[in-house]
Chain A
Amino acid sequence: MHNPLYNKNIISIPDLSRSELELIVATAQSLKQSPHPELLKNKVIASCFFEASTRTRLSFETAVNRLGGSIIGFPDSGNTSLGKKGETLADSVQVISSYCDAFFMRHHQEGAARLASEFSSVPVINGGDGSNQHPTQTLLDLFSIYETQGSLEKLQVAFVGDLKYGRTVHSLTQALSLFDCEFHFVAPQALSMPDYIIDELKEKGVKFHLHDDLDTVIGSLDIIYMTRVQKERFDETEYQHMKSSFILNAQMLTGVKSNLKVLHPLPRVDEITTDVDRTPYAYYFQQAENGVYARQALLALVMTDEFGV
Chain B
Amino acid sequence: MKKHLQVEAIQSGTVIDHISAGQGIKILKFFDLSSESQRITVGLNLPSHDGANKDLIKIEGLTFNKEQGNQLALFAPKATINVIENFEVVNKFKVELPQQIAGVFSCPNSNCISHNEPVDSRFNLTTRAHRTKLKCHYCEKAFDKGLFTELD
Contacts and interface: CB of A to CB of B under 8 A. Distances in A.
Interface of A: 12, 88-90, 107-112, 114-115, 118, 129-133, 196, 199, 203
B138 interface: yes
Given A110-B138, A110-B141, A115-B138, A90 B111 contact: no
Residue in A90, A114, A133 whose Cβ sees the most chain B Cβ within 10 Å: A114
B113 interface: yes
Interface residues of B, number: 17
Nearest to A107: B113
Interface in B106-152: 109, 111-114, 116-119, 128, 136-142
Interface of B: 109, 111-114, 116-119, 128, 136-142
A129 B113 contact: yes
B112 A109 contact: yes
Contacts, number: 54
Contact of B118 (A90, A107, A108, A133): A90
Chain A interface secondary structure, helix, strand, loop or mixed? Answer: mixed
Contacts of B112: 109-111
Given A90-B117, A90-B119, A110 B142 contact: no
Contact of A110 (B117, B128, B140): B140
A111 B113 contact: yes
Nearest to A89: B117
A111 B118 contact: no
A132 B139 contact: yes
B140 A88 contact: no
A111 B116 contact: no
